[in-house]
Amino acid sequence: MQRIVLASRPEAQASEDNFRLEVAGLPQPGKGEVIVKVHYMSLDPYMRGRMNAGKSYAAPVEIGETMTAGGVGEVIASNSPDFVPGDFALGMFGWASHACIRASEIRKLDPQMAPLTTALGVLGMPGFTAWHGLQAYGRPKAGETLVVAAATGPVGSMVGQLAKQAGLRVVGIAGGEDKCKLAVEAFGFDSCLDHRALGSAEALSAALAAACPDGIDIYYENVGGKVLEAVLPLMNSFGRIPVCGMIAWYNSAETELTAPAIWRSVLTKFLSVNGFIIFNHYDRYPEFLQQVAPKIASGEIKYLEDIAEGLENAPKTFLSMMQGGNTGKQIVKLV
Ligand code: NDP
């Protein structure tokens, strides 16, 4: 089997040198374990945090350890009554061609129900994150205005579509003309602003003010950085900010924002700011699937996937995604 391990910790910007491809023998499954041949592996922004030392909401990946990842694969050997070879499953298989894992830690998938890749994106962790974060902390009401960045990614595109269906005005922020066009034409956003072309937080804020004539009621926070700086002055009183991610700050600290400026906005505009980590909310996952899966099947909710090929290309694909190189849910196809 092949796997990619964390070779060193990044100083700030992660690079390909931080990863190493290794070849190892395939283990025999112990009692209650299965061997899975990974077909698709998910690349997600949270993985950048796992490369750092120190305690966060999850333990870091240790040097020499296989990088963490969700994946979809085929059971090729089973020492569990719950799986037979040929079954497909979703699990945390890592950046690896195969995994030996406890059957109780994986979930069987029916490839007839939905394409296998959707379990990593629109019907998986990112789609669920969008649905839960918007409902629980955004508390959308028809007629309000919502802003979300990384608008064509799996979280942003789902947030935007759900908010449109709930009757909100939805303004996206994305990197590049093509992504902005996609947000409007494929995902139905009312408008989308190109944060790269606009450049400064001031220019973005001015463009946002024009796109949001009634102010912003919900800012679904995916990125932090300049986007947050541009949005805060436009928030309406009693606005809500589900804090889902801050990718602009995962590698570095680009912004003029200071804690006093942020807290002043929160205080004077009576904002509700809710951080959340989706891994703590999986009790709601069946409800999400029940509500959203039929809408995916009917085409009422659209999704986009960006599928790279080959485990060896995972590091450069991951680094590119962190800079906006992906269009849609980033997946790596291994088989
Ligand atoms: P995406 O597939 O959308 O990929 C990340 C995107 O972030 C890039 O494509 C790029 O889009 C955008 N981006 C990168 N750097 C910047 C920057 N400096 N300023 C603005 N945008 C930037 O990711 P996901 O949909 O998977 O995740 C979106 C966010 O949600 C992430 O922050 C992630 O960590 C978070 N998340 C949080 C979870 C939780 O439990 N709280 C669970 C899942 C995701 P573009 O080119 O359009 O700018």
User: What is the structure's pLDDT at 253?
Assistant: 57
**Running DSSP on this structure, what letter comes out for residue 225?**
H
Reported as a single tens digit per residue, the pLDDT across 211-265 is: 999 999 999 999 999 999 999 999 999 999 999 999 998 876 556 678 888 999 9
Ligand 1 and 248: CB distance under 6 A: yes
| Phi, psi of 332, deg, nearest 5 | -120, 130
Other residues' Cβ atoms within 10 Å of the Cβ of residue 237: 10
C-alpha to C-alpha distance for 317 and 145, rounded to whole angstroms: 34
List the residue whose alpha carbon is closest to atom 35 of ligand 1. 245
As a whole number of angstroms, the distance between CA 308 and CA 211 comes to 34
Q: Which pLDDT belongs to residue 256?
A: 66
pLDDT value for 259: 84
Q: How far apart are CA 144 and CA 264, in angstroms?
A: 23
Segments of the chain assigned E as strands: 2-6, 19-23, 33-42, 71-78, 88-91, 98-102, 107-109, 145-149, 169-174, 191-194, 216-220, 235-243, 272-275, 305-309, 329-333
How far, in whole angstroms, is CA 15 from its chain's centroid? 20
ipTM entry: 0.99
Closest residue CA from atom 16 of ligand 1: 248
Helices (H), 201-313: 201-211, 225-231, 259-268, 285-298
CA dist., res. 147 & res. 214, Å (int):
12
pLDDT, the chain, mean: 96
Nearest CA to ligand 1 atom 3: 153
pLDDT of residue 54: 80
Under DSSP, is residue 281 helix (H, G, I), strand (E, B) or coil? helix
Ligand 1 atom nearest 325 alpha carbon: 9
- Confirm or reject: Cβ of 121 under 6 Å from ligand 1: no
Residue closest to 220 by CA, chosen among 239, 242, 204, 201: 242
CA distance 167 to 135: 13
Among candidate residues 152, 220, 154, the one with its CA nearest the CA of residue 188? 152
**Cα atoms in the Cβ-side hemisphere of radius 13 Å centred on 311:** 25
- Look at residue 255 in the predicted model and tell me its pLDDT: 62
Q: Is the C-beta atom of 245 inside 6 A of ligand 1?
A: yes
Pick from 304, 329, 330, 305: which is nearest to 317 by CA? 330
Residue nearest to atom 44 of ligand 1 (CA): 126
Q: What's the Cα-to-Cα distance from 279 to each of 3, 15, 106, 129, 242, rounded to whole Å?
A: 24, 27, 15, 9, 15
In short, whether 127's Cβ falls inside 6 Å of ligand 1 is no
Domains of the chain: 2-121+305-333 (3.90.180.10), 125-278 (3.40.50.720)
Query: Cα-flanking dihedrals φ and ψ of residue 110, to 5°?
Result: -105, 110
Which of 192, 142, 152, 155 is closest to 171 using CA atoms? 192
Three-class SS state of 234: helix
- For the record, the structure tokens of 162 come out as 């759900």
Which regions in the chain score pLDDT beneath 50?
none
